[in-house]
Amino acid sequence: MKLYLFFNRIVLFALMTLVSALAAADSVDLKAGDQLKGLIVEEHEDRVILSTAEGELQVLRKNIAKIDYDDPSYSLMSLGRQLEREKKFGEALSYFEKAAQLNPGLAEAKQAAIGVRSKMWAGFTQGPTGEIEKQQIIQDSWRADTSMADEARRGEEEKEETLWKRLGVQVDQSGDFVRALEVRVGGYAHQTGLRNGDMLYSVDGRSLRYIQKSTVINDLLEPRYASMVLEVRRKIIFPAKIGKTDTRNLGIDLKLDYNGVLINRVKSSGIADQYRIKSGDRLVSVAGENTRYMPIKTINKKLKKQQGKVFTIETARTLQMARQ
């Protein structure tokens, strides 16, 4: 009888977990009849940005029949579970920890994080390193009177040193993303256009939102010599004394396309040029307000209102790099 009840509890728990994974996400019902699930991370006049385990999707509002919003923490849990099934443990852990941060009472998130850490640890001790190398790590740990966890942390520190040596950049966690804390002048990353303070937004089209620093570092280093497309976000502060702040006087020409607001042209020696804004950059925000898909006329009005003020714009830039 006890065994029967225990079995029933296991089945019930499995069913609840399955239902939770399917239901706990924002749902976008399309007019064509399909349904998309994920976490809506941005909303604009003509579209929404849906974050899924496969990356971010742009969904035009004209194609949407209905949007059902869920608790973000449960949406993150659902995405984390999917990543865990795909054995992307570092990314899954980032989602679980963010879910626990948003909803401290969500015990499932804390338990999932513990479970993924265990799997990551198992990968460290049983993974691609050879048996001799693994035994060497254990012996080094024993001789130094340190735990295996300490050795793992030391491994992360070595990865940070490798990133500095190969790419010439140090990174740190900053909110939901990782930022370039220091970029070595003349180093590889600096030569490709990365600068201090840049936010690392995506790698090869995959969003780095909520992803832990250690996982981001690994993405930047491996597989070695493979090319990558790194999108960065950069905040530029303009002083109050620059005069008129419309697009013409800033020396930029804007164009709205499917991917957002493109800075189509930058006037040589103009204000924008002096602040190292380049043709091909994208305008993401003005004075903290998202402008990614805002009409150009509206953006220009908002820029004009900044005259006589210190204000910030945020741009997005795509960098072509190779993993050194």
| pLDDT tens sequence across 140-179 | 656 665 565 676 678 789 999 999 999 999 999 998 899 9
- Shared domain for 105 and 18, answered yes or no, is yes
- Shared domain for 276 and 309, answered yes or no, is yes
Instruction: With respect to residue 228, please indicate whether it lies within any of the assigned structural domains.
Output: no
In the predicted model, what is the mean pLDDT of the chain? 83
pLDDT of residue 115: 79
Count of structural domains, the chain: 3
Q: Which of 169, 194, 222 is the last residue of a domain?
A: 222
Instruction: With respect to residue 127, please indicate whether it lies within any of the assigned structural domains.
Output: no
- How far apart CA 254 and CA 248 sit, in angstroms, is 10
- Judge residue 186's burial from the number of C-beta atoms within 10 Å of its C-beta, 0-12 exposed, 13-18 middle, 19 or more buried: exposed
- Shared domain for 109 and 6, answered yes or no, is yes
Q: Tell me, what CATH number does 54's domain have?
A: 2.30.30.100
pLDDT of residue 122: 61
- Shared domain for 37 and 66, answered yes or no, is yes
Label residue 12 by pLDDT band (50, 70, 90): very low
- Shared domain for 238 and 217, answered yes or no, is no
Give the lowest-confidence range in 4-13, 201-210, 300-309.
Answer: 4-13
Please report where in the chains the tokens 């969500």 appear, as a residue.
106
Q: Which of 93, 120, 147 is the last residue of a domain?
A: 120
pLDDT of residue 314: 97
- Shared domain for 195 and 258, answered yes or no, is no
Instruction: With respect to residue 126, please indicate whether it lies within any of the assigned structural domains.
Output: no
- Shared domain for 312 and 249, answered yes or no, is yes
Instruction: With respect to residue 133, please indicate whether it lies within any of the assigned structural domains.
Output: no
- How far apart CA 313 and CA 275 sit, in angstroms, is 11
Label residue 127 by pLDDT band (50, 70, 90): very low
pLDDT of residue 124: 53
Residue 40, CA distances (Å) to 73, 114, 237, 245, 284 in order: 12, 26, 28, 32, 17
Contacts by residues 268-271 (CB-CB < 8 Å, ≥ 24 positions apart): 271/238, 271/242
Instruction: With respect to residue 131, please indicate whether it lies within any of the assigned structural domains.
Output: no
Q: Which of 195, 222, 249 is the last residue of a domain?
A: 222
Instruction: With respect to residue 323, please indicate whether it lies within any of the assigned structural domains.
Output: no
- The yes-or-no verdict on residue 302 having pLDDT over 80 is yes
- Shared domain for 190 and 287, answered yes or no, is no
- Shared domain for 194 and 263, answered yes or no, is no
Instruction: With respect to residue 130, please indicate whether it lies within any of the assigned structural domains.
Output: no
What pLDDT digit, counting tens, does each position of 193-208 carry?
Answer: 999 999 999 888 778 8
What pLDDT digit, counting tens, does each position of 225-276 carry?
Answer: 888 989 999 999 999 999 999 999 999 999 998 778 999 999 999 999 999 9
Instruction: With respect to residue 301, please indicate whether it lies within any of the assigned structural domains.
Output: yes
- Shared domain for 218 and 142, answered yes or no, is yes
Interval 285-314 mean pLDDT: 94
- Shared domain for 161 and 193, answered yes or no, is yes
Quick count: other Cβ atoms within 10 Å of Cβ 159?
17
pLDDT of residue 121: 67
Closest C-alpha to 60, from 39, 37, 31: 31
What pLDDT digit, counting tens, does each position of 76-108 carry?
Answer: 887 888 888 888 888 888 888 888 898 888 887
% of residues, the chain, pLDDT over 90: 45
- How far apart CA 55 and CA 39 sit, in angstroms, is 11
- Residues 6 or more apart in contact with residue 29 via CB below 8 angstroms: 35, 64, 65, 66, 67, 68
- Shared domain for 7 and 114, answered yes or no, is yes
- How far apart CA 150 and CA 140 sit, in angstroms, is 11
Q: Tell me, what CATH number does 173's domain have?
A: 2.30.42.10
Q: Which domain holds residue 264?
A: 234-318
Flag whether the pTM goes above 0.85.
no
